[in-house]
Amino acid sequence: MSTENLNGQEAIDKLKDLVDGIDIGVLCTFMPGTDYPHAVPMSRQEVDENGHIWFLFSSESETHKHLQHNNKASLLYSDVRNYKFLSINGTAEISQDQGRIDKYWSNMVAAWFEKGREDPHIRVLKVIPEDAHYWDTKSNKLVTLLKVAASGASGKQMDIGRQGDLNL
């Protein structure tokens, strides 16, 4: 696997492509008094033009409580069918922006909030990536496995994909 670090708009486009293609990632926040992260699956609402990743969540959640003490967050995305992976570290910002709540509201989101769109516990979470790293085979799992096997059998390096930093 060769290294291809991406910068600026190219990095934002790659991040957006991977997050939109995978959708559900694992959001890690950091609990006070422990070295271990708290991890929960989260479906993104949007990756904006700056590479910021937006979510709706509850102020009653453990995630919200942790972010009150430490605004650092990590996001992990994994598409094992296509061997695409993404690791993001960043800073979280929380708001009650009603415009964003209205923009992101859907039947899927409604299932999480019993009082509907007016639920006082709805919060908007924006994760601002500070660093990110990706792995992308640019083909599906079967093709990647065949390339790895052929490379092993022939002793020749084959292009099985790219990995690199996303410098946003």
CA quadruple 31, 33, 35, 36: dihedral positive or negative? Answer: negative
Query: Which one, of 35, 139, 39, 36, lies nearest residue 87 by Cα?
Result: 39
Give strand pairing partners of 134.
86, 164
Write the pLDDT tens digit of every residue in 57-79.
Answer: 999 999 999 999 999 999 999 99
**Greatest pairwise CA separation for the chain in angstroms:** 62
In whole angstroms, give the CA distance from residue 27 to residue 41: 6
Q: How many domains does the chain have?
A: 1
CATH number at residue 11: 2.30.110.10
φ, ψ of residue 80 to 5 degrees: the values are: -70, -25
To the nearest whole percent, how much of the chain has pLDDT over 70?
Answer: 86
Q: What is the pLDDT along the chain (168 residues), one digit of tens a residue?
A: 689 999 999 999 999 999 999 999 999 999 988 889 999 999 999 999 999 999 999 999 999 999 999 999 999 999 988 889 999 999 999 999 999 999 999 999 999 999 999 999 999 999 999 999 999 986 555 444 444 444 455 556 555 588 999 999
CA-wise closest residue to 129 among 17, 32, 53: 53
Residues 32 and 38: their CA atoms lie apart, in Å, by 10
Which residue range forms the structural domain that includes residue 114?
2-167
Residue appearing with tokens 């609990």: 31
